Amino acid sequence: MSEPSYHPGLEGVIAGETAISTIAGGAGLRYRGYAIEDLAREASFEEVAYLILHGELPAADALGNFCGRLSAAAVPPAELLAFMRSLPHDTPIMDVLRTAASALAHFDPEAADTSHDAQLRKAERLLAQLPTVLAAQWRFGQQQEPVLPDGEKSFAANLLWMLSGTEPTPRLTEAMDVSLTLYAEHEFNASTFTGRVITSTLSDLHSSVAGAIGALKGPLHGGANERVMEVLAEVGSAGNAEPWIRAALAEKRRIMGFGHRVYKEGDPRARFLKPLCQELAAETGHEEMEEMAAVIERIVVEEKGLPPNLDWPSARLYHYMGLDVGVYTPLFVVSRVTGWAAHVIEQMDNNRLIRPRSRYTGPENRDYVPLNERG
């Protein structure tokens, strides 16, 4: 029998089937058949979340009912908020979201029910509750009281409202809504695959989402957008951009925000977000950072052939929106929970235990040596 082929990092391996999204040969991204550009341009995040979870874009009454269910579930149990108050104020929001995703199972009457309809109801409740957890932990860290969700606001506007306690402008709401749509789903990425592996053991949705958050926390996945801001802060000015990036490339430093395992010709989400990023920079007085980013992007593409991924413009967009770096990856969570939950449901509906093999690289057969004979 021939040796099974080995693919480090599972690169290029088809590990399952999905009807949720496709990267379309590495050139585009579609959610349930709809181009990401069309959804980001025309649809609200609530419409996109409904599409990902339920399979079709909602009619007006279905969308209204969906938003009503999210609004009704948006306030987490008081016991969870009390626990969050007891945590050190500098506890990272990602850690709190991971814990909350698990803890919320204790208060969910359908936590152990893995039927399709129950999974959907639990997914909607998590989608509603995690933004409130994010904002509350951010405010606890600032020695401030949480701001309760406003059922009259959109998902994006409500998120900004709970973070700041001030009415968000239409422009900031639009930028948040677009970013949530772009981050909502992305096929078999590391965190989604983690969730599907957990689900394949017939574990519950909350466990799968908690595991996915743990995977997203890593700087090579969700944490990359935070590293982008570290790069821009280190560069400091547009005039320093070219010498800095050329020196960094000469030193073979990894520049976060560039390259993608699948998108070899460029991330369509980054292309879509770039003009909005430029517009918001001009409106908020951050033209120099955009100029700095443009120089770095041009040289990395020319010298390394690595186009930017979504993290490159989204980190700047959040900065122009006045958001703290500590909420960047958590914002990824409250969007991607839609995709994670959809994959959990799909995996459970057509389950097969995910159990790959490994290539052994240890020593060959060795004879056991009794303890008293070992040197």
| Residues labelled as active-site residues | 260, 311
What is the C-alpha separation between 274 and 278, in angstroms, rounded?
6
Which residue has 């341009």 as its token pair? 41
Residues 6+ apart with CB under 8 A from 366: none
- Calculate the CA 219 to chain-centre distance: 12
**DSSP assignments along 22-83, one per residue:** E-GGGT--EETTEEHHHHHHHS-HHHHHHHHHHSSPPPHHHHHHHHHHHHHH-SPPHHHHHH
What is the C-alpha separation between 170 and 299, in angstroms, rounded?
35
What is the C-alpha separation between 324 and 314, in angstroms, rounded?
13
* Token duo for residue 71: 């609004």
What is the C-alpha separation between 119 and 127, in angstroms, rounded?
12
What is the C-alpha separation between 283 and 280, in angstroms, rounded?
5
Residue 277 in contact with residue 174, Cβ under 8 Å?
no
Going through the chain in order, the beta strands assigned E by DSSP cover 21-22, 30-31, 34-35
Which residue has 């009794």 as its token pair? 370
What is the C-alpha separation between 67 and 72, in angstroms, rounded?
9
Tell me how far CA of residue 206 lies from CA of 14, 15, 106, 136, 314, in angstroms.
Answer: 26, 23, 10, 20, 27
Identity at 160, one-letter amino acid code: L
